[in-house]
């Protein structure tokens, strides 16, 4: 299927709902931080996104890609809300009993949506052939049904594009840290390597090879949804800058992997933070889940 036609089957950069306005009414966690810039990537800890994966990287991305490769970015757990694999509730909800960011979806999925949409927006501003995909409904029991992240990402990757799914890792001992779980459908690319240099890396057979990577979809864990990272996302005073920084790091890494070079850390004319609406359909509020990319 042609990439443009494939992407058009989803809801691409659709009209927005006031999720951020609703989120701004939520109380802060316990503390807030002022996000810094990218920092020293040789360190195992990033000042905003926290610890990087300590797991051994057993792969190297050397395959060159086109400077115009189409890119598809998706929000993790977009088709599994209210069922197993809905994503972590995060430390704020599970431990400190803060209200979820949005009714009916896990906090991880909420932030996956916000960041994935911001990545697509920034990438388009920079001239990348990048699109955001969101399934038509938020709960699809069969992961291989048409319209799921897996099915859409698999077709996109098989047609020669780069498919990336955004995740936040579980809090506490259930989580590992930031890093790329690489796609496994073909030799690892320079985009894979660049994302791993920026965020860290997971081994290619992490948890016996996850469903997304086996279908050609890279899984990027932004960080554990806890502590300073979660606080800076929940706090209206630091939310926009935190999301900007994360999106900039992702897009900058993608561009570096494509051979496009680097850019200024934060754009001066960044548009207002407007994440896409929640998927259509119904779902039950998700609480106290500790599920990371093991269940996708």
Q: What pLDDT digit, counting tens, does each position of 25-58 carry?
A: 333 333 333 333 333 335 689 999 999 999 999 9
- For residue 144, what pLDDT band results from cuts at 50, 70 and 90? confident
Which pLDDT score is estimated for 252? 96
Q: Which candidate, 259, 266, 163, places its Cα nearest to that of 219?
A: 163
* pLDDT at 265 exceeding the cut of 90: no
**Which of residues 280 and 213 earns the better pLDDT score?**
213
The pLDDT tens digits of the residues spanning 75-87 come to 999 999 999 889 9
* pLDDT at 279 exceeding the cut of 70: no
Q: Which candidate, 296, 129, 156, places its Cα nearest to that of 216?
A: 156
Per-domain residue ranges of the chain: 3-12+43-257
The pLDDT tens digits of the residues spanning 173-212 come to 999 999 999 999 999 999 999 999 999 999 999 987 888 9
* pLDDT at 157 exceeding the cut of 80: yes
Q: What topology is assigned to 3-12+43-257 in CATH?
A: Aminopeptidase (3.40.630)
Which pLDDT score is estimated for 44? 87
Q: Sort 55 into a burial class: Cβ within 10 Å, 0-12 / 13-18 / 19+.
A: middle
Which pLDDT score is estimated for 278? 47
* pLDDT at 240 exceeding the cut of 90: yes
Which pLDDT score is estimated for 207? 84
Which pLDDT score is estimated for 194? 97
Q: How many CB atoms lie within 10 A of CB 279?
A: 23
* pLDDT at 105 exceeding the cut of 60: yes
Structure tokens at 6: 């494939």
Provide the percentage of residues in the chain whose pLDDT is more than 90: 67
Which pLDDT score is estimated for 43? 63
* pLDDT at 152 exceeding the cut of 50: yes
Q: What mean pLDDT is reported for the chain?
A: 81
Angle between helices 190-199 and 239-257 (to 10 degrees): 140
Angle in degrees, CA 274, 169, 93, rounded to 5: 70
């Amino acid at each position: 299927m042609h990439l443009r036609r494939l992407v058009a089957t989803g809801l691409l950069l659709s009209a927005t709902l006031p999720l951020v306005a609703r989120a701004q009414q939520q109380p802060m966690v316990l503390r807030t931080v002022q996000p810094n810039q990218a920092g020293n990537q040789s360190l195992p800890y990033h000042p905003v996104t926290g610890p990087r994966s300590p797991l051994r990287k057993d792969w190297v991305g050397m395959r060159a890609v086109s400077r115009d490769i189409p890119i598809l970015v998706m929000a993790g757990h977009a088709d599994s809300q209210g069922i197993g694999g809905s994503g972590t509730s995060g430390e704020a909800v599970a431990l400190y009993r803060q209200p979820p960011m949005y009714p009916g979806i896990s906090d991880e999925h909420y932030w996956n949506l916000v960041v994935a949409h911001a990545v697509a927006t920034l990438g388009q501003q920079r001239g990348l052939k990048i699109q955001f995909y969101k399934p038509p409904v938020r709960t699809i029991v069969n992961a291989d049904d048409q319209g799921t992240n897996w099915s859409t990402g698999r077709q996109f990757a098989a047609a020669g594009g780069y498919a990336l799914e955004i995740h936040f890792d579980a809090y506490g001992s259930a989580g590992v840290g930031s890093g790329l779980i690489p796609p496994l459908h073909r030799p690892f690319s320079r985009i894979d390597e660049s994302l791993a240099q920026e965020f860290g890396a997971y081994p290619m057979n992490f948890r016996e090879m996850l469903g997304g990577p086996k279908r050609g979809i890279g899984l990027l864990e932004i960080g554990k949804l806890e502590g300073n990272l979660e606080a800076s996302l929940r706090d209206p005073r630091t939310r926009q800058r935190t999301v900007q920084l994360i999106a900039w790091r992702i897009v900058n890494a993608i561009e570096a992997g494509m051979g496009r070079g680097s850019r200024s850390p934060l754009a001066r004319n960044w548009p207002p933070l407007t994440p896409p609406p929640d998927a259509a359909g119904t779902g039950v509020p998700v609480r106290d889940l500790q599920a990371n990319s093991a269940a996708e």
